[in-house]
Amino acid sequence: MKLSFCKLCGRLILRAYPYCPYCGSAQSPGPGLEEAVRPTFARLEEMQADLRASHIEELLESLEGLESAVEEILSHVSTRA
């Protein structure tokens, strides 16, 4: 089902309608709902990818901290032994 927004009142209407059933304004074929929301979804996916990348960076940083902590502990153990 193809949907689009009325150019005058902004309500969601069937794309096949030549006139808006709410306000009666004539509809010229414009971008449908799918085309209208596609850039938004693309941007959302980009943001999610950025978020994942920064999260991975944070994890790597804390992993480095853990590694140095383990090294420190191991050095104490080896000096005691």
Which residues lie near Zn ion (CB under 5 A)?
Answer: 6, 8-9, 20, 22-23
CA 7, 12, 18, 23 torsion-angle sign:
negative
Cβ-based nearer residue to Zn ion, 26 or 44: 26
Cβ-based nearer residue to Zn ion, 12 or 74: 12
Compute the least distance from the CB of residue 25 to Zn ion, in Å: 5
Cβ-based nearer residue to Zn ion, 22 or 41: 22
Taking a C-beta distance cutoff of 8 angstroms, is the pair 4, 30 a contact? Answer: yes
Taking a C-beta distance cutoff of 8 angstroms, is the pair 36, 3 a contact? Answer: no
